[in-house]
């Protein structure tokens, strides 16, 4: 998460639309239920009257701000039809200087001190009868048209598009321009893996994938055509990656072999589980097979919240180890965090699907000591403390959020735990 925050502070946010929402309400009141009708392939910034009057000018047909932001189009929300004369004058001046504006024709000023006659003259000058594309000075007004129509007429290509393997495939993006390159944050909104093609408004640079959860970077397959770059993406459920363009492309396309994962073994059988002390659970139990703590017959395990450490010895045949391949430990379903150690080597904390860690170099042929420390949520312990036969309460809250009959949550290492080989085709 910290890497996400750091990367998204670099350079300048890229948005094609400055969205003016009016002067008589706030953003939350206007857009809590429905966001502005800006196509998902473009980003936008909200702008208020103060910023429009004091922070925005026009240069080379673009709206520019004192902080270095730049926009191709000023969009007027229907709520802004009642605007002050000062704002309308500023819009006129910007259009005459080369700006493009889209939205409904302003109707009047809410201020009794404004000259309504002058207001009507400026509105007619820019919007005419209130429909169609109009030239004014060096700029344009797209009267009563949509943002999508205006961007198309201005020949502003989408900043980000993607294929849809399924009808409900949904990605979000943020684009930032940095010195010498472009950075896109791409987020998979689905709780399933998505393999797709994403197209970026970038040309002449090779694509890289930067993974914020590990800090690792890797080259990506791409194809450059018509001033745009299409990149092959494999996104895990609810995944977020950075697609970075910073190095000149050596060729107009690059195809890299896709990794292929092969399950080598499932780690079956019993596990020893040691529970965090003073949380109501026994010091240690043996689970004949993986199952959720909340299904355990022992109330101390059933209502346990905290960290439980699973240990097991696994045998790794020599044939698992092949040159040029990686070995992965896949924990399957895990509730909710897992810290993995193999043969005394800590391999990091897993906090999202897939709960998978690279064990290449840690795993060895023969016997291997595997340790998985799993931490669940507080819910089950809070419910356990509400049981009428609870001998001791382990938690305290100022308000009781759960009752004795509230549903318990799955907890612990649920599996299946597998050893997986990853190799490129």
Dump the DSSP string for 82-124. Answer: B--HHHHHHHHHHHHTT-EEEEPPP-B-S-TTS-HHHHHHHHH
| Domain co-membership, 412 together with 284 | yes
| Domain co-membership, 126 together with 181 | no
Cα 206 from Cα 4, distance rounded (Å)? 21
Compute CA 295 distance to the chain's CA centroid, rounded to the nearest angstrom. 34
What single DSSP character describes residue 326? E
| Domain co-membership, 234 together with 296 | no
Is residue 201 included in any domain, yes or no?
A: yes
**Omega into 416 within 30° of 0, i.e. cis?**
yes
| Domain co-membership, 227 together with 276 | no
- Of 230, 256, 282, the last residue of a domain is 256
Question: Residue 136: is its pLDDT beyond 70?
Answer: yes
| Domain co-membership, 133 together with 76 | yes
pLDDT of 46 reads 97
| Domain co-membership, 117 together with 187 | no
pLDDT of 423 reads 87
**1-15, 23-37, 99-113, 326-340: lowest mean pLDDT where?**
1-15
pLDDT of 4 reads 63
Question: Residue 38: is its pLDDT beyond 60?
Answer: yes
Contacts of 150 (CB under 8 A, 6+ apart): 73, 75, 100, 102, 142
| Domain co-membership, 228 together with 344 | no
Is residue 2 included in any domain, yes or no?
A: no
Overall number of domains in the chain: 3
- Of 153, 180, 210, the last residue of a domain is 153
> Residue 332, exposed/middle/buried by CB under 10 A (0-12, 13-18, 19+)?
middle
Q: Which two tokens stand for residue 235?
A: 């996104």
Question: Residue 1: is its pLDDT beyond 70?
Answer: no
Strand (E) positions, 211-358? 217-219, 222-225, 228-235, 240-248, 253-254, 259-266, 271-275, 284-287, 307-316, 326-330, 333-335, 337-342, 345-350, 356-358
Is residue 4 included in any domain, yes or no?
A: no
Q: Which two tokens stand for residue 121?
A: 């003259």
| Domain co-membership, 375 together with 396 | yes
Tell the residue number behind the tokens 């940095």, with chain if given.
178
Domain containing residue 231: 160-256
Is residue 8 included in any domain, yes or no?
A: no
* pLDDT tens digit sequence for 188-226: 999 999 999 999 999 999 999 999 988 899 999 999 999
Secondary-structure breakdown of the chain: helix, strand, coil percentages, each rounded to the nearest 5: 15, 40, 45
342 forms beta bridges with 345, 370
Exposure string of 199-230, with b = 16+ CB inside 10 Å and e = fewer, is bbbbeebbbbbbebbeeeeeebbbbbeeebbb
pLDDT of 213 reads 85
| Domain co-membership, 236 together with 326 | no
Is residue 3 included in any domain, yes or no?
A: no
Could you tell me the pLDDT band of residue 79, with boundaries at 50, 70 and 90?
very high
| Domain co-membership, 227 together with 361 | no
Query: Residue 151: enclosing H or E segment and its boundaries?
Result: helix 147-153
Cα 424 from Cα 259, distance rounded (Å)? 4
Could you tell me the pLDDT band of residue 391, with boundaries at 50, 70 and 90?
confident
- Of 256, 284, 300, the last residue of a domain is 256
| Domain co-membership, 208 together with 276 | no
Question: Residue 2: is its pLDDT beyond 60?
Answer: no
What mean pLDDT value characterizes the chain?
Answer: 95
Is residue 11 included in any domain, yes or no?
A: no
Per the CB < 8 A criterion, the answer to whether 277 and 241 are in contact is no
* pLDDT tens digit sequence for 248-300: 999 999 999 888 899 999 999 999 999 999 999 999 999 999 999 999 999 99
Question: Residue 425: is its pLDDT beyond 80?
Answer: no
Is residue 12 included in any domain, yes or no?
A: no
User: Which CATH number characterizes residue 210's domain?
Assistant: 2.60.40.1180
């Amino acid at each position: 998460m910290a890497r996400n925050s750091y990367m998204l502070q670099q350079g300048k946010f890229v948005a094609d639309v400055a969205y003016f929402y009016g002067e008589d309400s706030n953003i939350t009141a206007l857009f809590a239920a429905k966001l502005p009708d800006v196509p998902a392939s473009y980003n936008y910034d909200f702008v208020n009257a103060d910023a429009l009057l004091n922070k925005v000018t026009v240069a080379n047909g673009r709206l520019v701000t004192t902080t270095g932001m730049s926009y191709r189009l000023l969009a007027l929300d229907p709520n802004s039809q009642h605007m002050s004369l000062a704002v309308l004058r500023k819009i006129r001046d910007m259009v005459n200087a080369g700006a493009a504006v889209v939205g409904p024709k302003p109707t009047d000023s809410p201020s009794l001190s404004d000259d309504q006659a002058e207001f009507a003259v400026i509105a007619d000058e820019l919007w005419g009868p209130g429909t169609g594309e109009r030239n004014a000075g060096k700029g344009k007004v797209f009267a009563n048209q949509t943002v999508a129509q205006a961007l198309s007429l201005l020949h502003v290509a989408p900043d980000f598009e993607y294929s849809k393997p399924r009808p409900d495939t949904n990605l979000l993006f943020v684009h930032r321009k940095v010195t010498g390159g472009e950075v896109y944050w791409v987020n998979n909104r689905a709780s399933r893996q998505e393999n797709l093609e994403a197209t970026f408004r970038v040309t002449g640079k090779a694509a890289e994938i930067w993974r914020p959860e590990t800090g690792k970077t890797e080259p990506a397959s791409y194809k450059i055509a018509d001033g745009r770059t299409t990149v092959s993406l494999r996104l895990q459920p609810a995944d977020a990656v950075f697609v970075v363009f910073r190095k000149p492309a050596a060729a107009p396309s690059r195809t890299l072999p896709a990794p292929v994962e092969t399950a080598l073994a499932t780690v079956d059988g019993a596990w020893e589980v040691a529970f965090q002390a003073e949380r109501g659970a026994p010091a240690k139990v043996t689970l004949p097979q993986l199952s959720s703590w909340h299904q355990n017959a022992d109330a101390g395990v059933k209502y346990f919240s905290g960290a439980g450490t699973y240990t097991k010895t696994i045998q790794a045949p020599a044939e698992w180890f092949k040159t040029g391949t990686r070995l992965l430990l896949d924990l399957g379903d895990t509730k909710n965090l897992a810290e993995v150690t193999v043969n005394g080597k800590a391999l990091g904390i897993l906090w999202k699907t897939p709960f998978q860690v690279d064990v290449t170099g840690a795993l060895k042929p023969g016997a291997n000591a595997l340790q998985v420390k799993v931490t669940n949520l507080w819910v089950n312990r809070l419910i356990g403390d509400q049981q009428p036969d609870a001998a001791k309460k382990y938690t305290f809250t100022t308000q009781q959020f759960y009752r004795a009959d509230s549903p318990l949550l799955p907890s612990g290492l649920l599996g299946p735990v597998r050893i997986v080989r990853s190799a490129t085709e």
